[in-house]
């Protein structure tokens, strides 16, 4: 069974790989990707999960689940244990979901759509609902960015928000200089003047706003994150899948129950991030707890699988954006998204909270 100290050891091992290889500066054309080092061959008795230590508040759910003794008990009864693999961003996980590899993943909206399009993925529930932001220091209006350098992460929710913002300002992509960049690099690039603005999801905007009072969010657009299961795992191990679903719901209830719980979860998240990046902390514990409260714990109804987001079925806008960008294979249609959201695992565990111990807590201290 993988306990907290073993998990932290694995995070430190991966952080060492990051430091040695200088992964932040590498591209696939220059070197092997960091996750190519991961042993994701199917191993009997293990449930492999992909997490994003630096994605808030998603990391609060995944870190809390890793410290959930009840989940470990439930999986042990089924002859299973967790193996945890950290990733820099959701798009790095898309091609690893299913096919005997990653069973449970924590993904942003665009990676969720891409995952659903390529494999039989099922949506467990909402991981966050908040805003991606366009951040600048020297320019207070989108119109002022004409001809300026704006960083973005291609095919992400923040890319979509950037395009929406430009459209609202009666501008197009060609009216700015689009600079593809990893979100983790954006605050430094803005500080140095290498870019004039960027579009990103949390915690990147909060990092910039905390660094310099002149930095400001000049446009915001809705984005969501999701907890996603491999459909083949649900078919093969339905009770194990429900144990994971129950742990997801229990994590949110527990963090919401007391501020001390949210703070303990925040300490786990920050420790995981420290181990993975080997970089100085950019935000205080109070700030990361503020993010999880605002973007998850205070979201009405969470844990949930909302039937609509901003008046539309979830991820339909994102599907259309990716289709227009040519990032979805020809012949794919939105029916697959409807299938993914038809998974009833969360409803099953919520219908029997006593059996699934949704309000019984046992977390590592």
Q: Which residues of 227-240 are buried (b: 16+ CB within 10 A; e: fewer)?
A: bbbbbbbbeebeeb
CA atoms within 13 A on the CB side of 231: 16
CB neighbourhood size of 365 (10 A): 5
Q: How confident is the model at residue 31 (pLDDT cuts 50, 70, 90)?
A: low
Q: Which strands, in side-by-side order, build the sheet including 81-86? A: 81-86, 46-51, 104-108, 216-230, 121-136, 197-200, 149-152, 177-180
Distance CA(125)–CA(127), nearest Å, equals 6
Question: How does pLDDT run across 290-314, given as a tens digit for each residue?
Answer: 999 999 999 988 999 999 888 889 9
Do residues 124 and 229 touch, judged by C-beta distance below 8 A? yes
Question: How does pLDDT run across 157-193, given as a tens digit for each residue?
Answer: 889 899 999 999 999 999 999 999 999 899 999 999 9
Distance CA(10)–CA(4), nearest Å, equals 10
Say whether pLDDT at 143 is over 50: yes
Say whether pLDDT at 203 is over 70: yes
Model pLDDT, residue 327: 86
Question: How does pLDDT run across 61-78, given as a tens digit for each residue?
Answer: 999 999 999 999 999 999
What domains are there in the chain, each with its CATH number?
Answer: 4-129+225-351 (3.40.190.10), 131-223 (3.40.190.10)
pTM over 0.85? The answer is no
Model pLDDT, residue 1: 40
Distance CA(152)–CA(160), nearest Å, equals 10
């Amino acid at each position: 069974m993988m306990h907290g100290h073993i998990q932290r050891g694995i995070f430190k091992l991966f952080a060492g790989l990051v430091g040695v290889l200088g992964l932040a500066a590498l591209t696939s054309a220059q070197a092997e990707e960091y996750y190519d080092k991961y042993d994701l061959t199917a191993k009997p008795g293990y449930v492999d999960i992909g997490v994003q230590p630096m994605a808030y508040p998603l990391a609060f759910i995944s870190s809390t689940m890793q410290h959930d003794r009840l989940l470990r008990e439930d999986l042990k009864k089924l002859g299973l244990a967790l193996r945890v693999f950290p990733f820099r961003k959701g798009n790095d996980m898309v091609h690893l979901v299913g096919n005997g590899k990653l069973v449970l993943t924590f993904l942003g909206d665009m990676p969720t759509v891409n995952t659903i399009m390529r494999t039989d993925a099922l949506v467990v529930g909402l991981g966050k609902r908040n805003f991606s932001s366009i951040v600048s220091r020297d320019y207070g209006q989108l119109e002022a960015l004409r001809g300026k350098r704006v960083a973005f992460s291609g095919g992400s929710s923040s890319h979509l928000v950037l395009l929406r913002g430009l459209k609202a300002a009666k501008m197009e992509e060609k009216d700015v200089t689009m600079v593809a960049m990893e979100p983790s690099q954006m605050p430094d690039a803005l500080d140095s003047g290498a870019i004039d603005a960027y579009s990103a999801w949390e915690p990147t905007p909060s990092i910039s706003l905390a660094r310099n009072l002149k930095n400001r969010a000049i446009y915001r657009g809705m984005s969501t994150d999701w907890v996603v299961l491999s459909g083949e795992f649900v078919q093969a191990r339905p009770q194990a899948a429900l144990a994971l679903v129950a742990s997801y719901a229990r994590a949110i209830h527990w963090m919401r129950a007391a501020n001390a719980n949210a703070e303990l979860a925040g300490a786990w998240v920050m420790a995981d991030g420290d181990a993975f990046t080997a970089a100085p902390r950019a935000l205080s514990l109070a700030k990361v707890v503020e993010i999880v409260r605002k973007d998850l714990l205070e979201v009405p109804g969470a844990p949930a699988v909302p039937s609509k987001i901003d008046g539309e079925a979830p991820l339909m806008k994102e599907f259309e954006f990716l289709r227009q960008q040519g990032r979805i294979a020809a012949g794919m249609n939105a029916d697959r998204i409807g299938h993914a959201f038809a998974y009833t695992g969360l409803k099953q565990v919520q219908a029997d909270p006593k059996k699934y111990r949704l309000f019984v807590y046992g977390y590592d201290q």
